[in-house]
Structure 1
Amino acid sequence: MAFDLVVVNGIIVTASDVLPLGIEIGIKDGKISCLGSSLPRDANTQIIDAKGAYVTPGGVDSHVHFAQDNCPTGDDFTTGSRSAIAGGTTTVLAFASQEKSETSVIPVVEEYHTKATNQSYCDYGFHLILTNPTPEIMQKEMPLMIEQGITSVKLYMTYEPMKLGDSELLEVLMSARSLGFTTMVHAENSDIISLITDRLEAAGHTDPYFHAISRPQIAENEATYRIISLAELTDSPILIVHMSSEIAVKHVRKAQTRMLPIHAETCPQYLFLLSERLKGSHHDAFEGAKCVCSPPLRHDPKDLEAMWRGIANGTFTTFSSDHAPSSYDHPNGKKLGLKSGIMRYRDIPNGVPGVETRLPLLFSYAGSDKDSRLGLQRFVQLTSSDPAKLYGLDGTKGNIAPGYDADLVIWYPEEDLKDGVNIEQKMLHHGVDYTPYEGMKVKNWPRYTILRGKKVWDRDNGGILGGMSDGKFLKRGKGKIVVGKTGGEVNGMLAGERDYWV
């Protein structure tokens, strides 16, 4: 049998192994058929020569915001997914967001299908943001969502239009326990943030830098401890998204050592950027608005080091972009926070772009040389295999093995990019007008991106080769627990005590 595509001369990296040079990848009908040497080919077989470079699974970015109504100047599925494949990401999981006034999530999901169908360069799925989790939704509509392949929800502990109280959080966690969907949580204490914000505003401290002052680490620390406690009470696996605080991460680590199924995520901005980026320049006093995101950028390089430790030691399960951009130089973008020369950080849309730069930034620190902070296998775990497992895509995405979709990233041989790549806004493919990583140097960049056996990105020959209809909706199964296990007892409760009320 001849293959449709054979990748040769690559060093294949999976979540567990770095295979020796010379193993070929045989692809047939969009799937990886086999790994081996001297694979059969004929005149119709396409050959891609990796030239001794690393070959990793296509990236799975499990936290992106595309086509969000509250972000009208941000990326839609077309521009966001185009940016994804140019950065080596072949799968994104975006958010279908319920409004508080909506009493059904079915129209919400239908709307997002309309926004994404035939509009995506890469494969995609949906998380459901629940802001009004009525009994009707949890008992009747969530089972339908799971049947349709939407097997994860996101909950907010902050933001007035979206936050849930503890009783609502508990009800959703109980439903997750019984139905088996994955629960993501944005953990910050809303009342702490509200009080400080009001007092800062009263004192006239409203420029973008005070966004970081208004959301201190203790707000994340308290909410993280609280949601872990609620998850332990209900015996529910959770993932805490975009973590930025060392103490909050220690809460997660401690829970994991007790074998609780508590997963954690961090993002590039919490590895590379500090709160000083929120200060304006002498050219533009408002420029710090570009880096307003929540949780905010932290103050001390030690905070960045703490996130790197979590990356290296296994505390973090996923490394996602939290791509949530708004254009800067637009009256309905970041400059909503600048009216008549007055800066008000509370009106600045939250979020930064990052779906295209996520893989190159982390790959720059993966390997075995003196500057590396994580191994290549750990890089694959964080960016591809573990998010695929956690969100019900194991067996399809996130690995280079027979039966998986032929989603691959082929990097440059090291000698071809001796001077690295300088990140510049003009080279990126997102739909907004800046990158917070402007001027940063990375050591490599995806040379080719392959989606289900089709070359969709060739950096040296045309860039984007794929089309808007290449991306397919992914009907996901129930996610796997990557860390810990369910079935444990709660500290301080009798064995079987939970059975009285579950």
Structure 2
Amino acid sequence: MSIVIKNGTVLSSTGASAADVLIEGERVAALAMPGGLAEQWSAHAERVIDATGKYVLPGGIDAHTHMEMPFGGTNASDTFETGTTAAAWGGTTTIIDFAKQEKGSSLLSTLDSWQQKADGNCAIDYAFHMIVSDVNETTLKEMRTCVDSGVNSFKMFMAYPGALYSTDGEILLAMQQATETGSMIMMHAENGIAIDELAKQAVNSGRTEPVQHGFTRPPELEGEATHRAISLAQVTKAPLYIVHLSAAQALAEVASARNDGQNVFAETCPQYLYLSVEDLAKPGFEGAKYVASPPLRDKSHQPDLWRGLRTNDLSVVSTDHCPFCYVEQKELGRADFRLIPNGMPGVEHRMDLLHQGVVAGEISLARWVELTSTTPARMFGLYPRKGVIAPGADADIVVYDPQARQTLSAATHHMNVDYSAYEGFALTGQAETVLSRGRVLVDAGEFHGAPGHGRFLERELCQYLN
């Protein structure tokens, strides 16, 4: 099918320009200045999309989601079908999800299991990272096989002792393997041993409400773990990517390592830019809606995070989308905050929430595209197929109305969860038309996609390694 997007402002990580876009089949065929050549395209196209007054940008890439993830005796409420459909509504056209290794299982069987969950069910393209929770000789060998299969990033945890936690020695072994293969170690950096002790003390003293989740995971313990992960990466010369960074202390460690030339990268998430411990402290059990790890911080951390986004010490904005319904799931921890499933919904709103940073002057339009699409594509081996509007790239394109007004609400979102973490937020800007590989998924408030359109993406190595 031939589609022309005309009269729009095409955005990239380097700037903006007036251009028309020709799509042939699943790929971008050409770009041209408005007029002449573009008019010829329009005369023969099967569809012409008028983007007057709109931005035309590459589809978003959410590099951190957890569809159907088991946690705390339950599963994330979004399936690959519902989660990827919601992502498309918000202008995200690729997700990278996490295949979670259980203790005693192999990486390869884990990957096969997650492939079966996703295959035929995704409305947009998808890839995987591996969660490594059982470091042994077999796992280390299988890391190399995963790389050969296009899955070349491995998440480890310094938190959750007894479940996902890895010792420093296990982390060092995995990092050594990553150094040999050129793959990426992703780190959940919180000192889980100390956190569990603080949490036990809180419960033993009768402090069981949701806000204690934040109080027992202080920012200093995120900073300490980040420093320790960076030190291990320095010893092993492994690339390191800190996931869902929330605290100024952790950001300072990342910035210092990057200033020293180390291959250390980090992401943050919209919840850390817009929400705070005040939400965790909402009366009754309402704060449970905002329980995630790392926890929401005091608002004083937010200016540092925005600065980190401008300086590139924070390179990516992902969601850590891991939704659990308030009723029946979050309520598992009503008597003990330690039992509240950790995670929040957000895959549908990432592009819009970060656009508010453009509106407020925190970041530029080019940086918006870079953080949400181009850098994730380069970081995780999808560029130039994804993350850019250029000849030969997949036609993953968002026509975005920067003047649209919307109010976020559980009543109108498409995620399979019974609350919105951003209930009542009034936003400026909204995706109007969303294309994935040349197929229109969302247009003028209607969904035209279908499960099974999304394809598994084998990824190359990170493009930022020196």
What TM-score do the two structures reach when normalised by structure 1? 0.89
Partner AA of 2:277 in structure 1: S
Pair 1:459 & 2:431 matched: no
> How far apart are 1:132 and its partner, in Å?
0.8
Alpha-carbon distance in structure 2 between the residues aligned to 1:137 and 1:306: 37
5 Å-filtered alignment, 1:165-314, equals 165-281=167-283, 285-299=284-298, 301-314=299-312
Pair 1:10 & 2:12 matched: no
Secondary structure of the residue aligned to 2:193 is helix
5 Å-filtered alignment, 1:305-454, equals 305-330=303-328, 333-338=329-334, 343-366=335-358, 371-412=360-401, 414=403, 417=404, 420-454=405-439
Alpha-carbon distance in structure 2 between the residues aligned to 1:64 and 1:13: 25
> How far apart are 1:120 and its partner, in Å?
0.6
For the Cα contact (< 8 Å) 2:70–2:76, is it kept in 1?
A: no
* RMSD of aligned Cα (Å): 1.3
Alpha-carbon distance in structure 1 between the residues aligned to 2:44 and 2:181: 50
Alignment correspondent of 1:147:
148
Partner AA of 1:143 in structure 2: R
Alpha-carbon distance in structure 1 between the residues aligned to 2:150 and 2:192: 31
Question: C-alpha offsets along residues 397-437 of structure 1, whole Å, 9 cap, x if unaligned?
Answer: 111111111101111152xx3xx211111111111101110
Partner AA of 2:14 in structure 1: S
The structure-2 alpha-carbon separation of the partners of 1:256 and 1:73, relative to structure 1 and needing over 3 Å to count, comes to: closer
Pair 1:469 & 2:443 matched: no
> How far apart are 1:134 and its partner, in Å?
1.5
For the Cα contact (< 8 Å) 2:99–2:110, is it kept in 1?
A: yes
> How far apart are 1:148 and its partner, in Å?
1.6
Pair 1:96 & 2:96 matched: no
Alignment equivalent of 2:20, drawn from 19, 24, 38: 24
Alpha-carbon distance in structure 2 between the residues aligned to 1:469 and 1:131: 30
Q: Which structure 1 segments of 5+ residues have no match?
A: 486-502
For the Cα contact (< 8 Å) 1:51–1:413, is it kept in 2?
A: no
Alpha-carbon distance in structure 2 between the residues aligned to 1:425 and 1:473: 29
Question: C-alpha offsets along residues 155-206 of structure 1, whole Å, 9 cap, x if unaligned?
Answer: 0011020110011100101100001111110000012101111111111001
Percent identity of paired positions between Structure 1 and Structure 2 = 36
Question: C-alpha offsets along residues 300-349 of structure 1, whole Å, 9 cap, x if unaligned?
Answer: x211111111112211111001001101112xx101112xxxx2100000
Q: Which structure 2 segments of 5+ residues have no match?
A: none
Partner AA of 2:363 in structure 1: L
Secondary structure of the residue aligned to 2:398 is strand
The structure-2 alpha-carbon separation of the partners of 1:73 and 1:248, relative to structure 1 and needing over 3 Å to count, comes to: closer
**Number of residue-to-residue matches in the alignment:** 458
Q: Which structure shows the bigger proportion of residues in strand conformation?
A: 2
Partner AA of 1:378 in structure 2: R
What TM-score do the two structures reach when normalised by structure 2? 0.96
Partner AA of 2:323 in structure 1: P
> How far apart are 1:73 and its partner, in Å?
4.8
Aligned structure 1 segments of 4 or more residues deviating by more than 3 angstroms: none
> How far apart are 1:43 and its partner, in Å?
4.4
Alpha-carbon distance in structure 1 between the residues aligned to 2:428 and 2:310: 19
Alpha-carbon distance in structure 2 between the residues aligned to 1:364 and 1:56: 16
Secondary structure of the residue aligned to 1:10 is strand
Alpha-carbon distance in structure 2 between the residues aligned to 1:280 and 1:53: 38
> How far apart are 1:143 and its partner, in Å?
2.3
